């Protein structure tokens, strides 16, 4: 099954693609968050890559509670669900510590800002694949 992981941010949304059968994940960049146009771009990527599952990171507090950012992500998730083809599953996934792990992977890299969002989605996808 092909999976698209999304790391939602108010400025950018990181993307990573993976395959559950192969256990592979790859960061594939980020999109500027421009509301409806970005949602449409995500739907196009899903169709283009034959994605069966869209995995959206849910930012929880260290104690596992939902805060303001989680509410924003849930709203984004709901809007995306409305546009997504019915045969595509969607799942919210705990993303605690994915950004910190992305920064760890970027140590010494000069383009940290540009890569952080995509690597956060990549880490999120790896965690999901490991749970299967």
Q: Residue 90: pLDDT band by 50, 70, 90 thresholds?
A: very high
**pTM for this one?**
0.88
Lowest-pLDDT choice from 24-28, 42-46, 88-92, 119-123: 119-123
* CATH of segment(s) 2-131: 3.30.420.140
Residue showing tokens 């749970």: 131
Lowest-pLDDT choice from 18-22, 69-73, 105-109: 105-109
Residue 18 phi/psi, 5-degree rounding, is: -150, 170
Domain edges within the chain = 2-131
**Which helix (H) or strand (E) element contains residue 131?**
helix 112-131
């Amino acid at each position: 099954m092909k999976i698209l992981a999304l790391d939602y941010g108010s400025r950018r949304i990181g993307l990573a693609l993976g395959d559950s059968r192969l256990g592979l994940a790859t960061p594939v960049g980020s999109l500027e968050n421009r509301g409806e146009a970005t949602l449409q771009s995500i739907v196009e990527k899903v169709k283009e890559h034959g994605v069966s599952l869209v995995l959206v990171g849910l930012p929880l507090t260290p104690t596992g509670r939902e805060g303001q950012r989680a509410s924003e992500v849930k709203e984004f998730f709901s809007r995306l669900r409305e546009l997504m083809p019915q045969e595509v599953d969607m799942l919210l996934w705990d993303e605690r510590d994915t950004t910190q792990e992305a920064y760890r992977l970027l140590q010494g890299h000069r383009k940290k800002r540009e890569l952080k969002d995509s690597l956060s989605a990549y880490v999120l996808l790896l965690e999901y694949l490991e749970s299967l």
